[in-house]
A and B are shown apart, each in its own frame.
Chain A
């Protein structure tokens, strides 16, 4: 699946949120209750270290203490999954104090999607404005032409319209054919939309 590769190679930023709640009371062997299951860390990425969220107990002191001690309970999730030993050779608990949350995002994807969305909306708006403002004018002219034409035909009743001759004309014809087909399709679509509008906005038989 290509978007997975895309995700892996693009700049996924790893945000890690650490909640150190009982730094003040820190005794490494006392696991606080709501800090279960820590850590999911991708070491390749730059971990963002966040100073612990303030608890109601004097957040300032808390921050400064974290800065000061610079020991294990410091809320750094980087490498937290690696086994660590304390001074006397005991295996320390993995990230006992912190709650690390792994969050990944794909900035490129967001960028691309948002730009596509903007594009689509602006194209739709432009087309809508075109249909509202210019199309009636154009259609009027085309219709007038068309009517004149049929009138002429009526006058010259029975005679077929002069056949276009020459290669250039043929080429023009084929191009006109494509245009005609497109025009035909849009006309058909417009008719359908008009029909839908009639159902919903005028007669109100549907989707009330």
Chain B
């Protein structure tokens, strides 16, 4: 027995010209003629597939197949293993591996190949056919443009796309030894994923930096302008004097609007004028944002994360990640943030980064033309989006993993890591926040927390869960109202009204007049003894002498603090209400910052309460041993941080990524345990009160075809209950070698299915494969244009050419290359639990249902989604699909 696979395969590689490494082919022998059908199944990836090989070789060189007489009367199915020649470097290694694994089934294969030296492709008879005998081969796409792409609002077939990519990869690996140029091309192909995410990271960092700078400048435009250098915001204008956000008095270079109009800085008149300008600018920005979105890119509205989630789970929304969406979303985001609306720029930043990812992936055909591969880049881009939005690279990677991505292999994890790193680095080098840190609110705490404090932290977590649920319920109610009422017809007017209300409510309260991230920073930070302008820091200062050291310490909350608490409570109520109405308006709007803000207000208030308690009763048993006399033990800023995390957790139901984002955001690594406790409590409470997080709720509201992998399917239905067609309907099928072009076109016209199973014949519905409607349309159109003699009477052949059909009539139309020879099938008795799991884990688009080996029906993703909705007593017709 010759068992030198290395040698053998190389030998064949020399003579072979097909680059398919290994596949299983099914030879059908019926009515005297032999047709062979190639298959994309790869023995490397599907070891089980080869176990069905038969060992008795019959040495028939002409067929190179091993024939097994079938019990069935009408035909014989022959199953043949083929290791195609080609791809020496690649295939030799695994051929070797297969041999070392002593798989005796393989021996037949090698025996045959080494002895007969028959190039496998000859099995298909037609030499012209050999190169493209495989569905999804890259070469085959050159002649029919558009194959392998999808229509708008369709789900992708992950398995098919990944198989296509594998084919393409093998082709490149095989070509690599041909010339230096091909070697370079192979190298380029190998690193193109990293290169692509590098570009994405750089671009995301730049865009985020621009948005940060632009938004901070525009937000301050509501208050005044820097006449010497109009491009400065207030902080930059008064540089290096650190301005308190509360007083505008001590910076002469910054002019408020009343000053520019020749009025005094303070006084009633000036107040009214600033109020007016504040609202005017806000209205202008909001109107601009809403109308730009409406005019140029309606897809740019909202946060985009529900849609990104859906897209990453394998849905196509054309134009959602396009250039115009990117431009308008960036500009609109700056404008709507500057308008002072209750929205953040973090969610949209994820969308922006994903747009960048999509645009750059078109530079690399490997990713641009393959939707499944493109989603790897998009996952990395989403990570970069969070990374630049918060300056939290690791949090971004985890966010992508936990919240957005659907398919997240380790390779994508590393790419996301790299992409987030690059993006954060670029953003950091732009220093948009004017400090060393690329994060929005950097606070440095070094105070320890004591064990007792876990109780208020968990309380904060519970509150966060409650607030999150209230927010989700109210927001969904409002969005549903908007969707089904007349309100939805006035998107721009709605934005203007909300902006007006926001401006009117927010200006009088100094805490809401400032930007939301300034307020969050204020709530997070610790009161220093020197901080006298901040009403939150109106503490009694005391000179504490402790041995040799003496210092001024803040001690007891003064009246200013209580006043501030009332204002903060008001701010909380307003912001909660406004956020409910804002999220879902037709402007770019995220909800990270509003929920962080609500949580930090709540947390700060609780923190002040605990602080007061601890100061008043320092000797209570809870604090024994922890208190130094007269000193403040509790840091309210930490409570604000925990509260913010809890509320964000309640709204989005994130856990790990949330904690990581929070401590990256604030630099408080020492507070992981409080954050974790709060996040966990918030998730429990949130999940108990309402099943879905805000993103899932919005996905459900819009009816996006998102098969959530978090939920379990707990019903006892069978595949036969779900499949189409139902009883007493007929299944539309295409036969492999008896339908004419006209028949097929009539079928396409009369039915609206997105794909058709191909069977042997109408009478014996044995499954051959599956062909997509789009591919069929394209291929027929292409053939009519390019191939001579194709008429309506031409037979459509899904088999390889055979002698029988060549004698009479117009030439047949060979469509084997668009046929998916490896459709996933289940039997009709398969429980739906398994089917749903297959759809989730394999990312299927459809599966075929068989009974006793005969084709019975089809289950598509749409059927599954509708079935899931039906089982959950929801309206199954809301699923968005074309």
Interface positions of A (Cβ within 8 A of B): 1, 3-4, 7, 13-17, 19, 21-22, 25, 30-34, 48, 50, 52-57, 102-107, 109-111, 113-117, 120-121, 124-125, 128, 131-132, 189, 192-193, 196-197, 199-201, 204-208
Contact = CB atoms under 8 A, between A and B. Distances in A.
B702 interface: yes
B702 A105 contact: no
Interface string B282-307: 00000010011011111101100001
Interface in B420-457: 426, 429-431, 434-436
A33 B530 contact: no
Size category of the B interface is 35 or more
B429 A3 contact: yes
Contacts of A131: 295
A57 B551 CA distance: 12
A4 B430 CA distance: 8
Interface in B48-97: none
Contact of B702 (A13, A53, A110, A205): A205
A189 B324 CA distance: 9
B331 A105 contact: no
A21 B296 CA distance: 55
B319 A34 contact: no
5 contacts: A33-B551, A48-B240, A107-B232, A114-B213, A204-B483
B880 A205 contact: yes
Contacts of B239: 13, 15, 105
Nearest to A29: B548
A200 B529 contact: no
Contacts of B551: 21-22, 32-34
Contacts of A121: 288, 331, 335
B210 interface: yes
A34 B218 CA distance: 35
A204 B880 contact: no
B479 A22 contact: no
A105 B236 contact: yes
Given A113-B213, A208-B483, A50 B530 contact: no
> What 8 pairs across the A-B complex have the smallest Cβ distances?
A15-B240, A114-B231, A117-B214, A53-B530, A196-B298, A48-B240, A200-B298, A208-B483
Given A57-B541, A106-B430, A200 B241 contact: no
B100 interface: no
Interface of B: 209-210, 213-214, 217-218, 229-232, 236, 239-242, 288, 291-292, 294-299, 301-302, 307, 317-319, 324, 327-328, 331, 334-335, 426, 429-431, 434-436, 479-480, 482-484, 488-489, 491, 528-530, 532, 541, 543, 548-552, 584, 586, 698, 701-703, 880
Contact of A113 (B214, B299, B491): B214
B532 A3 contact: no
Contacts of B294: 197, 201
Contact of A200 (B217, B296, B301, B318): B301
A207 B288 contact: no
Given A53-B530, A114-B231, A117-B334, A22 B552 contact: yes
Given A4-B429, A131-B295, A196-B297, A113 B209 contact: yes
A196 B319 contact: yes
A13 B213 CA distance: 17
B291 A128 contact: yes
Interface centre among A15, A113, A115 (most CB of B within 10 A): A113
A29 to B, nearest CB: 8
Nearest to A205: B880
Contact of A55 (B210, B297, B307, B532): B532
Given A110-B231, A121-B331, A124-B296, A105 B431 contact: yes
Contacts of B528: 19, 34
B488 A103 contact: no
Contacts of B584: 208
A9 B219 CA distance: 29
Given A19-B530, A128-B296, A111 B231 contact: yes
Contacts of B319: 192, 196
Given A56-B541, A205-B880, A114 B217 contact: yes
Contacts of A34: 528-529, 551
Contact of B236 (A25, A56, A57, A110): A110
A17 B240 contact: yes
Contacts of B210: 113, 116-117
Contacts of A103: 240, 434-436
B299 A200 contact: yes
A6 to B, nearest CB: 9
Nearest to A47: B240
Given A21-B530, A208-B584, A3 B296 contact: no
Contacts of B429: 1, 3-4, 7
Given A189-B324, A201-B488, A201-B489, A128 B549 contact: no
Contacts of B209: 113
B552 A21 contact: yes
Contacts of A113: 209-210, 213-214, 231
A204 B298 CA distance: 11
